[in-house]
Amino acid sequence: MPISRRDFLKYCSAAAAALGLGGTDLLRLEQVLADPTAPTVLWLHGSSCSGCSVSFLNYIAGSDPTDPGDILLNHVNLAYHPVLMAPAGLPAYQAAEAAYSLGNYVLVVEGAVATQFSGRCCWPWADGTGTEETFLSAVTRYAAKAAQVVCAGSCSAFGGIPAAGSNPTLARSVRAVTGKPTINIPGCPCHPNWLVWALVQILLGKGISTDSSGRPTALFSSKVHSNCPRRGKPKDTVLGGSGCLRDLGCRGPDTQANCPAQKWNNAQSWCIEASAPCYGCTEPGFPGSSPFYKFPAG
Ligand code: SF4
Ligand code: SF4
Ligand code: SF4
Protein backbone atom coordinates (compact mmCIF):
# COMPACT_ATOMS: atom_id res chain seq x y z
CA MET A 1 0.00 0.00 0.00
CA PRO A 2 1.14 3.62 -0.38
CA ILE A 3 1.66 5.51 2.89
CA SER A 4 0.38 3.53 5.86
CA ARG A 5 -2.82 4.82 7.36
CA ARG A 6 -1.01 5.40 10.63
CA ASP A 7 1.70 7.49 8.97
CA PHE A 8 -0.74 9.50 6.92
CA LEU A 9 -2.91 10.18 9.96
CA LYS A 10 0.23 11.14 11.89
CA TYR A 11 1.04 13.71 9.23
CA CYS A 12 -2.52 15.05 9.11
CA SER A 13 -2.64 15.29 12.89
CA ALA A 14 0.64 17.19 12.93
CA ALA A 15 -0.55 19.52 10.16
CA ALA A 16 -4.20 19.66 11.24
CA ALA A 17 -4.24 23.42 11.69
CA ALA A 18 -2.61 24.14 8.34
CA LEU A 19 -4.93 21.68 6.63
CA GLY A 20 -8.06 22.76 8.48
CA LEU A 21 -8.64 19.27 9.89
CA GLY A 22 -10.65 18.48 13.01
CA GLY A 23 -11.08 15.21 14.90
CA THR A 24 -14.08 14.22 12.77
CA ASP A 25 -12.04 14.90 9.65
CA LEU A 26 -9.31 12.57 10.82
CA LEU A 27 -11.89 9.82 11.34
CA ARG A 28 -13.20 10.44 7.83
CA LEU A 29 -9.66 10.26 6.54
CA GLU A 30 -9.35 6.78 7.94
CA GLN A 31 -12.48 5.76 6.04
CA VAL A 32 -11.31 7.38 2.81
CA LEU A 33 -7.93 5.73 2.97
CA ALA A 34 -9.65 2.39 3.43
CA ASP A 35 -11.37 2.89 0.06
CA PRO A 36 -9.32 0.93 -2.47
CA THR A 37 -10.82 2.91 -5.35
CA ALA A 38 -9.44 6.25 -4.12
CA PRO A 39 -7.30 7.74 -6.91
CA THR A 40 -3.62 7.74 -6.15
CA VAL A 41 -1.47 10.82 -6.67
CA LEU A 42 2.32 10.82 -6.56
CA TRP A 43 3.99 14.23 -6.29
CA LEU A 44 7.69 14.28 -7.17
CA HIS A 45 10.09 17.18 -6.63
CA GLY A 46 12.98 17.86 -8.98
CA SER A 47 14.97 21.08 -9.32
CA SER A 48 12.58 23.41 -7.54
CA CYS A 49 12.11 25.74 -4.59
CA SER A 50 8.93 23.96 -3.35
CA GLY A 51 7.05 27.23 -3.86
CA CYS A 52 4.35 25.48 -5.87
CA SER A 53 3.69 23.13 -2.92
CA VAL A 54 3.41 26.17 -0.66
CA SER A 55 1.05 27.78 -3.16
CA PHE A 56 -1.08 24.61 -3.18
CA LEU A 57 -1.33 24.79 0.62
CA ASN A 58 -2.82 28.29 0.28
CA TYR A 59 -5.81 26.90 -1.58
CA ILE A 60 -9.17 27.86 -0.08
CA ALA A 61 -12.42 27.73 -2.05
CA GLY A 62 -16.09 28.24 -1.37
CA SER A 63 -17.10 24.99 -3.03
CA ASP A 64 -15.91 21.41 -2.96
CA PRO A 65 -12.96 20.73 -2.75
CA THR A 66 -12.58 23.51 -0.24
CA ASP A 67 -8.95 23.29 0.90
CA PRO A 68 -5.91 21.01 0.73
CA GLY A 69 -7.30 18.99 3.64
CA ASP A 70 -10.51 18.40 1.70
CA ILE A 71 -8.54 17.34 -1.34
CA LEU A 72 -6.35 14.96 0.62
CA LEU A 73 -9.33 13.63 2.59
CA ASN A 74 -11.99 13.27 0.00
CA HIS A 75 -10.53 13.40 -3.46
CA VAL A 76 -7.12 11.83 -3.69
CA ASN A 77 -4.96 9.26 -2.04
CA LEU A 78 -1.69 11.18 -1.87
CA ALA A 79 0.81 8.35 -1.87
CA TYR A 80 3.99 10.41 -1.99
CA HIS A 81 4.90 14.04 -1.40
CA PRO A 82 8.35 14.66 0.08
CA VAL A 83 7.30 17.88 1.80
CA LEU A 84 3.86 16.91 3.11
CA MET A 85 4.15 13.25 4.01
CA ALA A 86 5.13 12.10 7.50
CA PRO A 87 7.59 9.36 6.51
CA ALA A 88 11.06 10.25 5.25
CA GLY A 89 13.99 8.33 3.84
CA LEU A 90 13.46 4.66 3.05
CA PRO A 91 9.79 4.40 4.17
CA ALA A 92 8.92 7.35 1.93
CA TYR A 93 10.74 5.80 -1.01
CA GLN A 94 9.00 2.49 -0.40
CA ALA A 95 5.61 4.25 -0.36
CA ALA A 96 6.35 5.74 -3.77
CA GLU A 97 7.59 2.45 -5.16
CA ALA A 98 4.50 0.60 -3.91
CA ALA A 99 2.22 3.01 -5.76
CA TYR A 100 4.51 2.91 -8.79
CA SER A 101 4.30 -0.86 -8.99
CA LEU A 102 0.49 -0.66 -9.14
CA GLY A 103 0.61 1.94 -11.96
CA ASN A 104 -2.40 3.98 -13.12
CA TYR A 105 -1.62 6.92 -10.81
CA VAL A 106 -1.65 10.65 -11.46
CA LEU A 107 1.92 11.95 -11.41
CA VAL A 108 2.37 15.57 -10.32
CA VAL A 109 5.85 16.92 -10.95
CA GLU A 110 7.20 20.07 -9.32
CA GLY A 111 10.60 21.17 -10.53
CA ALA A 112 12.68 20.86 -13.66
CA VAL A 113 14.71 17.82 -14.65
CA ALA A 114 18.49 18.23 -14.41
CA THR A 115 20.10 16.35 -17.30
CA GLN A 116 23.76 17.42 -17.05
CA PHE A 117 26.18 14.71 -15.87
CA SER A 118 23.55 12.07 -16.72
CA GLY A 119 21.28 13.73 -14.17
CA ARG A 120 23.73 13.36 -11.28
CA CYS A 121 22.93 16.78 -9.84
CA CYS A 122 19.45 16.03 -8.50
CA TRP A 123 18.72 12.97 -6.35
CA PRO A 124 15.24 12.36 -4.92
CA TRP A 125 15.92 9.17 -2.96
CA ALA A 126 17.92 6.01 -2.29
CA ASP A 127 16.72 2.43 -2.14
CA GLY A 128 17.16 -0.05 0.71
CA THR A 129 20.77 -0.75 -0.28
CA GLY A 130 21.67 2.94 -0.23
CA THR A 131 21.82 3.13 -4.02
CA GLU A 132 20.66 6.57 -5.10
CA GLU A 133 18.52 7.27 -8.15
CA THR A 134 18.70 10.50 -10.12
CA PHE A 135 15.59 12.58 -10.59
CA LEU A 136 16.14 12.16 -14.32
CA SER A 137 15.81 8.39 -13.93
CA ALA A 138 12.93 8.57 -11.43
CA VAL A 139 10.75 10.97 -13.43
CA THR A 140 11.35 9.05 -16.65
CA ARG A 141 10.42 5.79 -14.95
CA TYR A 142 7.37 7.17 -13.12
CA ALA A 143 6.03 9.13 -16.10
CA ALA A 144 6.06 5.99 -18.23
CA LYS A 145 3.54 4.22 -15.98
CA ALA A 146 1.40 7.26 -15.08
CA ALA A 147 -2.20 7.57 -16.24
CA GLN A 148 -1.61 11.32 -16.45
CA VAL A 149 1.33 13.65 -15.83
CA VAL A 150 0.64 17.11 -14.43
CA CYS A 151 3.43 19.69 -14.27
CA ALA A 152 2.95 21.99 -11.29
CA GLY A 153 4.72 25.27 -12.00
CA SER A 154 6.94 26.66 -14.71
CA CYS A 155 10.01 24.65 -13.68
CA SER A 156 8.49 21.28 -14.56
CA ALA A 157 6.33 22.67 -17.38
CA PHE A 158 9.01 24.60 -19.26
CA GLY A 159 12.30 24.54 -17.32
CA GLY A 160 11.63 27.83 -15.53
CA ILE A 161 14.19 29.35 -13.23
CA PRO A 162 16.43 26.23 -12.99
CA ALA A 163 16.83 26.39 -16.79
CA ALA A 164 17.53 30.13 -16.88
CA GLY A 165 20.78 31.82 -17.72
CA SER A 166 23.76 29.55 -18.31
CA ASN A 167 21.71 26.58 -17.03
CA PRO A 168 24.69 24.66 -15.64
CA THR A 169 22.61 21.58 -14.78
CA LEU A 170 20.96 21.51 -18.24
CA ALA A 171 17.55 21.63 -16.58
CA ARG A 172 14.69 20.77 -18.92
CA SER A 173 10.94 20.33 -18.80
CA VAL A 174 9.30 17.01 -17.96
CA ARG A 175 7.78 16.83 -21.43
CA ALA A 176 11.14 17.41 -23.13
CA VAL A 177 12.83 14.71 -21.07
CA THR A 178 10.16 12.01 -20.99
CA GLY A 179 8.57 12.63 -24.39
CA LYS A 180 5.22 12.17 -22.67
CA PRO A 181 2.33 14.63 -23.13
CA THR A 182 1.89 16.61 -19.93
CA ILE A 183 -0.82 18.87 -18.58
CA ASN A 184 1.21 22.00 -17.91
CA ILE A 185 0.06 24.28 -15.10
CA PRO A 186 2.74 26.97 -15.28
CA GLY A 187 3.31 29.95 -13.04
CA CYS A 188 6.04 30.76 -10.58
CA PRO A 189 4.40 29.53 -8.50
CA CYS A 190 1.35 28.02 -10.18
CA HIS A 191 -1.93 29.31 -8.80
CA PRO A 192 -3.45 26.76 -6.41
CA ASN A 193 -6.82 27.07 -8.16
CA TRP A 194 -5.23 26.18 -11.49
CA LEU A 195 -3.64 23.05 -10.08
CA VAL A 196 -6.72 21.96 -8.16
CA TRP A 197 -8.87 22.59 -11.21
CA ALA A 198 -6.68 20.29 -13.29
CA LEU A 199 -6.62 17.55 -10.66
CA VAL A 200 -10.40 17.66 -10.30
CA GLN A 201 -10.89 17.42 -14.07
CA ILE A 202 -8.63 14.37 -14.16
CA LEU A 203 -10.28 12.72 -11.17
CA LEU A 204 -13.69 13.29 -12.73
CA GLY A 205 -12.47 11.66 -15.93
CA LYS A 206 -12.95 14.81 -18.00
CA GLY A 207 -10.67 15.61 -20.90
CA ILE A 208 -8.52 18.74 -20.68
CA SER A 209 -8.06 20.73 -23.85
CA THR A 210 -4.62 22.32 -24.06
CA ASP A 211 -2.74 24.80 -26.21
CA SER A 212 0.50 24.01 -28.04
CA SER A 213 2.41 24.59 -24.79
CA GLY A 214 0.34 22.01 -22.92
CA ARG A 215 -1.56 24.65 -20.92
CA PRO A 216 -5.30 24.12 -20.35
CA THR A 217 -7.15 26.52 -22.64
CA ALA A 218 -9.82 26.94 -19.97
CA LEU A 219 -7.23 28.74 -17.83
CA PHE A 220 -4.64 30.17 -20.22
CA SER A 221 -6.42 31.35 -23.36
CA SER A 222 -6.60 35.07 -22.57
CA LYS A 223 -3.82 37.61 -22.25
CA VAL A 224 -3.28 39.33 -18.92
CA HIS A 225 -3.31 42.63 -20.82
CA SER A 226 -6.74 41.91 -22.35
CA ASN A 227 -8.45 41.98 -18.96
CA CYS A 228 -6.18 44.36 -17.10
CA PRO A 229 -8.01 47.19 -15.31
CA ARG A 230 -5.07 49.51 -16.09
CA ARG A 231 -5.48 49.10 -19.84
CA GLY A 232 -5.78 52.47 -21.56
CA LYS A 233 -4.49 54.41 -18.56
CA PRO A 234 -1.48 56.75 -18.92
CA LYS A 235 1.81 54.91 -18.69
CA ASP A 236 3.59 55.11 -15.34
CA THR A 237 7.28 55.97 -15.29
CA VAL A 238 7.86 55.05 -11.65
CA LEU A 239 6.60 52.13 -9.60
CA GLY A 240 3.81 52.70 -7.11
CA GLY A 241 1.39 54.60 -9.32
CA SER A 242 -1.98 53.55 -10.70
CA GLY A 243 -1.28 53.72 -14.44
CA CYS A 244 -0.20 51.22 -17.07
CA LEU A 245 3.10 49.52 -16.26
CA ARG A 246 4.12 48.81 -19.86
CA ASP A 247 7.08 51.23 -19.79
CA LEU A 248 8.29 49.61 -16.58
CA GLY A 249 8.64 46.22 -18.25
CA CYS A 250 5.14 44.76 -17.91
CA ARG A 251 4.85 41.56 -19.93
CA GLY A 252 1.04 41.41 -19.66
CA PRO A 253 0.53 41.91 -23.42
CA ASP A 254 2.57 38.74 -24.10
CA THR A 255 1.37 36.60 -21.21
CA GLN A 256 -1.57 34.23 -21.14
CA ALA A 257 -3.19 33.73 -17.74
CA ASN A 258 -6.44 34.60 -16.01
CA CYS A 259 -4.78 36.49 -13.13
CA PRO A 260 -6.94 39.66 -13.49
CA ALA A 261 -10.08 37.61 -12.81
CA GLN A 262 -8.61 34.91 -10.58
CA LYS A 263 -6.37 37.09 -8.42
CA TRP A 264 -4.06 35.58 -5.79
CA ASN A 265 -3.91 34.92 -2.06
CA ASN A 266 -7.54 33.86 -1.93
CA ALA A 267 -8.60 36.57 -4.37
CA GLN A 268 -7.07 39.38 -2.29
CA SER A 269 -4.95 40.95 -5.02
CA TRP A 270 -2.60 40.19 -7.89
CA CYS A 271 0.66 41.47 -9.34
CA ILE A 272 -0.61 44.52 -11.21
CA GLU A 273 -3.13 45.45 -8.53
CA ALA A 274 -0.13 45.47 -6.19
CA SER A 275 1.65 47.81 -8.67
CA ALA A 276 4.14 45.19 -9.86
CA PRO A 277 4.44 44.60 -13.60
CA CYS A 278 3.43 41.16 -14.84
CA TYR A 279 6.72 39.32 -15.36
CA GLY A 280 5.24 36.64 -17.60
CA CYS A 281 5.58 33.72 -15.21
CA THR A 282 3.17 31.45 -17.14
CA GLU A 283 5.00 31.73 -20.46
CA PRO A 284 7.36 29.07 -21.84
CA GLY A 285 10.15 31.68 -22.11
CA PHE A 286 9.97 32.67 -18.43
CA PRO A 287 12.07 34.06 -16.78
CA GLY A 288 13.80 35.28 -19.96
CA SER A 289 16.38 37.94 -19.68
CA SER A 290 16.49 39.91 -16.49
CA PRO A 291 15.83 42.41 -15.05
CA PHE A 292 12.07 41.95 -14.74
CA TYR A 293 11.52 45.69 -14.38
CA LYS A 294 12.60 48.46 -16.74
CA PHE A 295 13.51 51.88 -15.50
CA PRO A 296 13.27 54.76 -17.97
CA ALA A 297 16.53 56.59 -18.58
CA GLY A 298 17.04 59.73 -16.56
S1 SF4 B 1 7.76 27.26 -10.59
FE2 SF4 B 1 8.67 28.87 -9.30
S3 SF4 B 1 7.62 28.62 -7.32
FE4 SF4 B 1 7.29 26.69 -8.48
S5 SF4 B 1 8.98 25.35 -7.83
FE6 SF4 B 1 9.66 26.43 -9.71
S7 SF4 B 1 10.80 28.23 -8.91
FE8 SF4 B 1 9.57 27.45 -7.21
S1 SF4 C 1 -0.21 47.24 -16.78
FE2 SF4 C 1 0.56 45.66 -18.16
S3 SF4 C 1 -1.16 44.28 -18.50
FE4 SF4 C 1 -1.98 46.16 -17.61
S5 SF4 C 1 -2.58 47.39 -19.37
FE6 SF4 C 1 -0.49 47.99 -18.87
S7 SF4 C 1 0.83 46.65 -20.14
FE8 SF4 C 1 -1.23 45.77 -20.14
S1 SF4 D 1 0.18 38.62 -13.41
FE2 SF4 D 1 1.82 37.78 -14.66
S3 SF4 D 1 3.57 37.52 -13.26
FE4 SF4 D 1 1.74 37.80 -12.01
S5 SF4 D 1 1.08 35.70 -11.56
FE6 SF4 D 1 -0.06 36.39 -13.38
S7 SF4 D 1 1.15 35.67 -15.12
FE8 SF4 D 1 2.48 35.55 -13.32
Whichever domain contains 42, its CATH number is 3.40.50.700
Q: Are residues 56 and 202 in the same domain?
A: yes
- Among 219, 252, 281, which residue terminates a domain? 219
Task: Using most ligand atoms within 8 A of CB, pick from 224, 250, 279 the residue to mutate for ligand 2.
Answer: 250
Q: How far is the CA of 62 from the centre of ligand 3 (A)?
A: 23
Cβ count near 10 (within 10 Å): 15
Question: Which residues fall within 8 angstroms of residue 157, CB to CB, at 6 or more apart?
Answer: 151, 173, 174, 175, 182, 184, 185, 186, 213, 214, 215, 284
Ligand 3 pocket (Cβ < 6 Å) reads 187, 224, 255, 257, 259, 270-271, 278-279, 281-282
Checking if the pLDDT of 1 tops 50, the result is no
Domain containing 241 — which CATH number?
A: 4.10.480.10
Query: What pLDDT is stored for residue 26 in this prediction?
Result: 53
- Among 160, 195, 219, which residue terminates a domain? 219
Predicted confidence (pLDDT) per residue in 61-92, tens digit: 888 888 887 887 778 888 999 888 888 899 99
Checking if the pLDDT of 12 tops 60, the result is no
Ligand 2, atom 8, residue with closest C-alpha: 225
Q: Are residues 97 and 18 in the same domain?
A: yes
Q: How far is the CA of 58 from the centre of ligand 1 (A)?
A: 15
Q: Are residues 56 and 180 in the same domain?
A: yes
Q: Are residues 29 and 89 in the same domain?
A: yes
Query: What pLDDT is stored for residue 87 in this prediction?
Result: 86
Ligand 2, atom 6, residue with closest C-alpha: 244
Residue 33 banded pLDDT, cuts 50, 70, 90 = low
Q: How far is the CA of 254 from the centre of ligand 2 (A)?
A: 10
Q: Are residues 90 and 176 in the same domain?
A: yes
Q: Are residues 172 and 258 in the same domain?
A: no
Ligand 3: which atom is nearest the Cα of residue 191?
A: 5
Which residues does the annotation mark as catalytic? 49, 52, 155, 188, 225, 228, 244, 250, 259, 271, 278, 281
Ligand 3: which atom is nearest the Cα of residue 251?
A: 2
The full length of the chain comes to 298
Greater pLDDT, 145 or 289: 145
Predicted confidence (pLDDT) per residue in 195-220, tens digit: 999 988 888 888 999 999 999 999 99
Q: Are residues 133 and 215 in the same domain?
A: yes
Q: Nearest Cα to 158, choosing from 48, 29, 266?
A: 48
Span 145-166, average pLDDT: 97
Greater pLDDT, 171 or 64: 171
Q: Are residues 47 and 195 in the same domain?
A: yes
Residue 13 banded pLDDT, cuts 50, 70, 90 = low
Residue 31 banded pLDDT, cuts 50, 70, 90 = low
Instruction: Please tell me the distance from the alpha carbon of residue 42 to that of residue 71, in angstroms, as a whole number.
Output: 14
Strand partners, 41: 78, 106
- Among 196, 219, 242, which residue terminates a domain? 219
Contact 282 CB / ligand 1 (< 6 Å): no
Checking if the pLDDT of 34 tops 90, the result is no
Span 125-129, average pLDDT: 95
Q: Are residues 229 and 212 in the same domain?
A: no
Q: What is the pTM of this model?
A: 0.89
> In the chain, how many domains are there?
2
Predicted confidence (pLDDT) per residue in 237-248, tens digit: 998 999 999 999
Domain that holds residue 249: 222-298
Residue 104 identity: N
Contact 115 CB / ligand 1 (< 6 Å): no
CA quadruple 231, 234, 236, 240: dihedral, nearest 10: -70
Q: Are residues 211 and 244 in the same domain?
A: no
Q: Are residues 52 and 152 in the same domain?
A: yes
Query: What pLDDT is stored for residue 86 in this prediction?
Result: 82
Percentage of the chain lying above the pLDDT 90 cut: 68
Q: How far is the CA of 4 from the centre of ligand 3 (A)?
A: 38
Span 118-126, average pLDDT: 97
Q: Are residues 30 and 159 in the same domain?
A: yes
Phi-psi region of 275 (alpha: psi -120 to 50; beta: other; left: phi over 0): left
Predicted confidence (pLDDT) per residue in 249-274, tens digit: 999 999 999 999 999 998 999 999 99
Radius of gyration of the chain (CA): 20
